[in-house]
A and B are shown apart, each in its own frame.
Chain A
Amino acid sequence: MPEELYELETAVPENPIEEYLRMDRMPHIWCPGCGIGTTVNCFARALETSGLDLDKVAIVSGIGCTGRVAGYVRLDSFHTTHGRAIPFATGLGLANPGLKVVVYSGDGDLVAIGGNHFIHAARRNVDMTVILINNMIYGMTGGQVAPTTPIGATASTAPHGNFEETFNLPFLAESCGAVYVARWTSYHIRHLTKSIKEALAKRGFSFVEILAPCPTLYSRRNKLGDGLEQMVYYKDHSEIRNGADTKSVALDFQGKIVVGKFVDRERPTYLDAMNEHFQKRLGDRYVPSDEMRQILHAQNRN
């Protein structure tokens, strides 16, 4: 049974997640039926229950429709270059390890142009939560084929259908070393909220993939109806298999969607490994950064 995350209130004067959003930037740019906004709602709910000091949470996005998330969330937020949110986040988090760093971006941004950074941040187990919105297409630029486009689906640069193998992202994340790997769709708002909360609580490289409809450019071109019809598809074709072997969760065109929490494990984070190594190798001569020293001091006290 999914955990009850918040109590329903019958009447509230304003949307309770408004304090997590930059309301002075509304309305947002996303199309009717787009799933990104729903995921932001879940992210805000996860923050609400995370117990994190929001002044110490930073969000980093790349470029694209999902890349705009950073600009709508009332946190220290960075809208960087295409594909490079993860290395920016790496620098930010290593410079200031007291921050909780979230990367929120799209499939094209994170695993096509930014794929190399994704691989290496997971390998290093850099402390960050990566939330990837997979709409199976390049939305912002007009519906071009992506590494996540299912075989057989049509895109503006695959007008005769895509024949390239589709990236299985949970498998990629797990094999590169991510300590937390989950996949949900924008239909699974309770599970998703809980998963984001767990990912935020995790130390190291945590990864949540979220399938979200792009009615304007993916569904329409593939004659899949509007956003609502994609939600019905998510509802009818999703199968929750927590702990599933990530090799077995590849996606195909309008086929079954395996969702769930696939990986939850412990590995030393980049900074843990670095500190331990330097302490062992260099002894008292090792001088951690000022911020690192404070954190190590607090850890030793506890």
Chain B
Amino acid sequence: MHADPVGVLTGAHFVDGDHACSEGAIAAGCRFVAGYPITPSTEVVERIAERFPFVGGMFIQMEDELASSIAIQGAAWGGKKAMTVTSGPGFSLMMEHIGLAAMTETPCVFVNVQRAGPSTGLPTMPAQGDMMQARWGSHGDYEIIALSPNSPQECFDLTIRAFNLSEQYRVPVLFMMDECVGHMIERVVIPPAEKIEVYQRRMYEGPRENFLPFEAGNDLVPMLVKAGDGYRIHVTGLTHDEKGYPDMTVGTQATLVRRLVDKIRLHTDDIIRFEEQNIEDAEIVVVTYGITSRTAIPAIEQARAKGMKVGHLRLVVVWPFPEKRIRELAGRVKAFVVPELNLGQMVYEVERCAAGKSKVLSVPHAGGTVHQPKDIYAAIEKSLRG
């Protein structure tokens, strides 16, 4: 289905990543946003607050991030595509509700414009320190999807993708920006509405009798209904059966949690996206995501100019992790080099999938600014030597 032309600002713009994210959300059909001010994400909700009264949207600034992250779930069950936006400390407060969304299969998008932590850290400066928190931050077993844009254009394009994935799999999707991408101003081209693919929420419209709201078909994703449609559904964060009723048994726990996890794991190939350059002949593969993919480019080019066979694998979808691809490359390449604006997070995934068949080098950075390309270059050189 195509985007609703209302609100799609077709044309070329010169905007930052935060604003591009807002426009992506509007184009994706998001019509409910709840947020709480926090640097460096606030521009996203500021633009939403400005734009929403003209496009039939409902924005509310809630009293905190706990409220924002559950108001969007109420709105989703009220029939809206919904999003909240935050950064580090606010993201920490939202963890319980990422679990609620996973457990109740509530489609919604959480935007995190990452800043340096822990705690208050460096509020105005970039980091990529929340990548593992995104995957594991809420308690219990579950799967989420997380995307990592590296430009304002991608902030627009991938926000739409985030909503589409969230609707298709009924899962919280985490949009893992960083301060650099959020505040970077670049050209953003918004296509005509008919060129924007939007996933339409799959609504159940069958008989009310014996309706099982959490019964899934082959794709493991149940259809949605909304409050007020007469189905009298029950939705709970407790372990529940297909009717949605609490059923605190070992068997129901196993069935439910297995399905929540499998609906993502079995569709990993459809969900994941990565970009590769010069992988065919590569001896070294630099694995990046977000802003780090851009600081790595001069280092890779410099190394290739000197004859080193260096390829680049950029994660666009970071969770689920492209395990299969790393396993394929492992053993074929000498080493993976993983620069991140943290002291080592996604590198552990690379290491796990490389399984000792290739060396894995972390290029850590505590955040506050981006890597110097020379540091990434030095790591490439070292990995070839060693």
A95 adjacent to B234 (CB under 8 Å): no
Residue of A nearest to B67 (CB): A87
9 A–B contacts from the bound complex (CB under 8 Å): A58-B227, A76-B77, A78-B77, A92-B74, A92-B227, A93-B74, A94-B60, A96-B78, A119-B63
B70 adjacent to A80 (CB under 8 Å): yes
Kindly list chain B residues whose C-beta atoms are within 8 Å of the C-beta of A120: 62-63, 67
A79-B236 contact in complex given A55-B228, A60-B74, A91-B78, C-beta closer than 8 Å? yes
Asked if A158 lies at the interface with its beta carbon under 8 angstroms from chain B, I say no
Kindly list chain A residues whose C-beta atoms are within 8 Å of the C-beta of B76: 91, 95
A94 adjacent to B67 (CB under 8 Å): no
A25-B245 contact in complex given A91-B73, A286-B53, C-beta closer than 8 Å? yes
B234 adjacent to A77 (CB under 8 Å): yes
Best-surrounded residue of B74, B77, B97, B236 (most CB of chain A within 10 A): B74
For the complex of A and B, list the 8 residue pairs with the smallest distance between their C-beta atoms, beginning with the closest. Answer: A91-B74, A95-B78, A91-B71, A92-B74, A96-B78, A87-B67, A79-B236, A95-B75
A84-B66 contact in complex given A94-B58, A94-B75, C-beta closer than 8 Å? yes
Kindly list chain B residues whose C-beta atoms are within 8 Å of the C-beta of A92: 74-75, 77-78, 227
CB of A195 to closest CB in B, whole Å: 25
Assembled-state Cα–Cα distance A84/B72 (Å): 12
**CB 8 Å contact bits of B222-244 with A (1 = contact, 0 = none):** 00001111111111111000000
Asked if A47 lies at the interface with its beta carbon under 8 angstroms from chain B, I say no
Asked if B246 lies at the interface with its beta carbon under 8 angstroms from chain A, I say yes
A81-B228 contact in complex given A117-B63, A120-B63, A287-B55, C-beta closer than 8 Å? no
Given contacts A54-B232, A55-B230, A81-B237, 18 further A-B contacts (CB under 8 A): A22-B234, A56-B228, A58-B227, A78-B77, A79-B235, A81-B97, A84-B67, A87-B66, A88-B71, A91-B74, A91-B76, A92-B74, A92-B78, A93-B78, A99-B78, A119-B63, A287-B56, A290-B56
Residue of A nearest to B71 (CB): A91
**CB 8 Å contact bits of B19-31 with A (1 = contact, 0 = none):** 0000000000001
B71 adjacent to A288 (CB under 8 Å): no
Residue of B nearest to A123 (CB): B63
Kindly list chain B residues whose C-beta atoms are within 8 Å of the C-beta of A175: none
Give the number of chain B interface residues (Cβ < 8 Å). 47
The listed residue (A95, A116, A278) touching B80 by CB distance below 8 A is A95
CB of B216 to closest CB in A, whole Å: 20
Asked if A289 lies at the interface with its beta carbon under 8 angstroms from chain B, I say yes
**CB 8 Å contact bits of A65-91 with B (1 = contact, 0 = none):** 000001100111111110110111111
Best-surrounded residue of A74, A77, A92, A99 (most CB of chain B within 10 A): A92
B70 adjacent to A84 (CB under 8 Å): yes
CB of B305 to closest CB in A, whole Å: 54
Asked if B96 lies at the interface with its beta carbon under 8 angstroms from chain A, I say yes
Interface residues of A in 1-57 (CB under 8 A from B): 22, 24-25, 54-56
Assembled-state Cα–Cα distance A86/B62 (Å): 11
Contact size range, A? 35 or more
Best-surrounded residue of A54, A91, A285, A289 (most CB of chain B within 10 A): A91
A88 adjacent to B70 (CB under 8 Å): yes
Assembled-state Cα–Cα distance A79/B226 (Å): 15
Assembled-state Cα–Cα distance A96/B71 (Å): 12
A289-B235 contact in complex given A78-B77, A90-B74, A96-B79, C-beta closer than 8 Å? no
Assembled-state Cα–Cα distance A78/B31 (Å): 21
Residue of B nearest to A119 (CB): B63
Assembled-state Cα–Cα distance A29/B260 (Å): 27
Assembled-state Cα–Cα distance A154/B243 (Å): 40
B34 adjacent to A71 (CB under 8 Å): no
Assembled-state Cα–Cα distance A80/B66 (Å): 12
The listed residue (B31, B54, B63, B70) touching A81 by CB distance below 8 A is B70
